[in-house]
Structure 1
């Protein structure tokens, strides 16, 4: 970021995010999100843990958007929860991934943790292939 942007910004360190605690408070405040929370908690907690360990964690806004979209989909589109999780991981969470050989373990861990999520695994395999071929990877489109 440029100095001008940093002068006007409040930079917030999001490396210490309590995913389960935030999800509990979210469903306490909004009981209609209980099922969406249940569908989101395990994948969000797992993926956040791996990404946080590599300096790529995400914050509360993304977590809330993830849960709220799960609730929206369940009410209006009625896709199965794994399909929604798969879409959201690719579209909202994993777009943050970028790095070099130092992050190979992150890609490997995420690939194992996201077993069965076809789009997520396809993206992670593409990033691994980019890392193999170019020595770095970036998920942003």
Structure 2
């Protein structure tokens, strides 16, 4: 069974990953939009003479659909991880949420954050763990 300390450490790692996951989510959404455009088969209007392009045409719709599903799965994974962090942060004391956000998501130094909230580093870490324990 996973201990509370391990769960808290995992949550801290997840918090550190939120910005990265958000960037990956945006990239994946862009890739999905580009793929949707490809799947529609829309192209620019040609001013050339009419050509017969059906001969030897490879239909890669199945490959595109598989690629789309992979991107959707990635997007869902990123969303789940981001939402998990946000759900837990929404449940705890707003002051502790601000400390966690500054410390783990925004990447500020522990000395700076402790000084900003007028507390010692050990007290700051104790308060964080105490606030997170019931939700992990």
TM-score class, shorter-chain normalisation, is under 0.3
Greater share of residues in strand:
1
Structure with bigger RCO (C-alpha 8 Å, 6+ apart)? 2
Q: TM-score, normalised by structure 2?
A: 0.25
Computing the radius of gyration from Cα coordinates, the structure with the larger value is 2
